[in-house]
């Protein structure tokens, strides 16, 4: 049975779920989105994701034609129809059909699309052995050009960095900001363990403040680990005891090499593994 996609209040087979070629989401990347995990039928941190979606939409003057509760009900309806208990929700809101010009005022009906499916961002082998990263030349979009808090449909900056990583023979990359500090990876936030403390770039480094990032910081503090947000250079990661990435799809994934330099012992470290264990306990037992 093909998966159903929720579009503007109706469910369609995925092959029939279509938008107009004149939609500004397609023409210009004019829209916002969220990725949300579902564990054992429970939407994890759903309210936080919905808040971020609405904040992103407000920041680009896009009116979502649903309330927060209606959107949550649509998530649950789509999951139920597709009989999914462990899943990934992708909710997309586009500006809607307009003209070939940039005038957003000519788009009158925003489109709301909800996709529910399974997702495996990285093979299991990487969770056991760790990732290798490279630093790429593609600079993270400065926050004074486009706020990284806006999770928009235009991900070209990240895609170009991803292409660079793949051309270098790895699957993920570190992106620096315009000042040369580490910002984030192409789709995940980054952490280091240094002198027993957990450190990660601050919001003004040009990062998307990931919800999984926030959960991990909460879990670390709960476990007695000092957490610091501070400007970090590549050097700080090269000499770190451990490194890992966080993201909704990735969860927590260890990093063992950066720019051909071994991180720590070259295997997933104890703090990373402890936080991964705690994260799995959290996601499997809480809504």
* pLDDT values of the chain reduced to their tens digit, one per residue, 287 residues: 789 999 999 999 999 999 999 999 999 999 999 999 999 999 999 999 999 999 999 999 999 999 999 999 999 999 999 999 999 999 999 999 999 999 999 999 999 999 999 987 788 999 999 999 999 999 999 988 999 999 999 999 999 999 999 999 999 999 999 999 999 999 999 999 999 999 999 999 999 999 999 999 999 999 999 999 999 999 999 999 999 999 999 999 999 999 999 999 999 999 999 999 999 999 976 54
pLDDT at 123: 87
Domain ranges in the chain are: 4-117, 124-285
pLDDT at 285: 65
Nearest CA among 71, 82, 74, 76 for reference residue 117: 82
Q: State the helix-helix crossing angle for 68-81 and 46-59, rounded to 10 degrees.
A: 120
Distance CA 149, CA 56 (A): 7
- The contacts of residue 173 (CB under 8 Å, 6+ apart) are 133, 134, 135, 136, 138, 161, 162, 164, 165, 185, 186
151 included as an active-site residue = yes
Using alpha carbons, list the distances in angstroms from residue 180 to 72, 139, 177.
40, 9, 5
Instruction: Please pick, among 4, 58, 83, 151, the residue that the annotation labels catalytic.
Output: 151
Of the CATH numbers 3.90.870.30, 3.20.10.10, 3.40.50.2000, 3.40.50.1010, which one belongs to the domain with range 124-285?
Answer: 3.20.10.10
Structure tokens at 118: 């399974």
Distance CA 161, CA 165 (A): 6
Nearest CA among 249, 251, 256 for reference residue 275: 251
Instruction: Output the CA torsion 127→276→186→255 (10° steps).
Output: -50
CA 270 to chain CA centroid, nearest Å: 24
Task: Give me the CATH topology for the region 4-117.
Answer: D-amino Acid Aminotransferase; Chain A, domain 1 (3.30.470)
pLDDT at 143: 85
pLDDT at 60: 97
Distance CA 257, CA 130 (A): 8
Distance CA 152, CA 170 (A): 25
Residue 23's beta-bridge partner residues? 97
Distance CA 44, CA 232 (A): 30
């Amino acid at each position: 049975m093909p998966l159903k996609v929720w579009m503007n209040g109706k469910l369609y087979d995925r092959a029939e779920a279509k938008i107009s070629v004149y939609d500004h989401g397609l023409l210009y990347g004019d829209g916002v989105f969220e990725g949300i995990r579902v564990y054992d039928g429970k939407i994890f941190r759903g309210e936080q994701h919905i808040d971020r979606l609405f904040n992103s939409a407000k920041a680009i003057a896009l009116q979502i034609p649903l309330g927060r509760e209606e959107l949550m009900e649509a998530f649950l309806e789509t999951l139920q129809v597709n009989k999914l208990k462990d899943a990934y929700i992708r909710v997309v809101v586009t500006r809607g059909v307009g003209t070939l010009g940039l005038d957003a005022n000519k788009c009158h009906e925003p489109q709301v699309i909800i996709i529910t499916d399974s997702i495996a961002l990285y093979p299991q082998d990487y969770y056991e052995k760790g990732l290798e990263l490279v630093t790429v030349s593609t600079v993270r979009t400065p926050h004074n050009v486009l706020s990284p808090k806006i999770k928009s449909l235009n991900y070209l900056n990240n895609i170009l960095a991803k292409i660079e990583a793949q051309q270098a023979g790895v699957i993920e990359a570190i992106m620096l900001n315009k000042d040369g500090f580490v910002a984030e990876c192409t789709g995940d936030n980054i952490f280091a363990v240094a002198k027993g403390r957990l450190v990660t770039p601050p919001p003004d480094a040009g990062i998307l403040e990931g919800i999984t990032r926030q959960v991990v910081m909460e879990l670390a503090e709960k476990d007695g680990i000092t957490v610091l947000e501070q400007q970090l250079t590549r050097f700080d990661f090269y000499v770190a005891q451990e490194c890992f990435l966080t993201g909704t799809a990735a969860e927590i994934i260890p990093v063992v090499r950066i720019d051909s330099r071994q991180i720590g012992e070259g295997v997933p470290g104890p703090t990373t593994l402890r936080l991964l264990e705690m994260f799995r306990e959290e996601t499997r037992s809480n809504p």
